[in-house]
Amino acid sequence: MKQLFFYLCLTLIFLSGTHALASGSKMGKSSTISELQISDMDGNKNGSISFEEFKAAFPSIRPNVFSILDKNQDGQLNKAEWQSFQEMHKGMGG
């Protein structure tokens, strides 16, 4: 059941992310989730993505979904967590 919820959340992120990217979000140069780099969203250039930075890229994101992606629960998505998220989207067309 948890796994189903997890994949449902990821699908929702993908759908909202695709809309944000298609509507000319702050990333501009990237067109899919798999092409986005941390640096495209990292407003303060600290090498990780805060919830606020992620929400700027994906306006429909909910805090609980971000929390699922934040495996070490430090309030930031690091490079490994971001790459894990991207890997999951390869099979979803993202």
Q: What is residue 19's predicted lDDT score, i.e. its pLDDT?
A: 44
Tokens 């990333």 identify what position?
A: 27
User: Is the predicted pLDDT of residue 43 greater than 90, yes or no?
Assistant: yes
Tokens linked to 87 = 């890997």
Q: What is the number of other CB atoms lying within 10 angstroms of the CB of residue 40?
A: 16
Q: Which of 11-15, 70-74, 85-89 has the highest mean pLDDT?
A: 70-74
CB 89 within 8 Å of CB 36:
no
The model's confidence at residue 22, banded by pLDDT at 50, 70 and 90, is very low
Q: What is residue 87's predicted lDDT score, i.e. its pLDDT?
A: 86
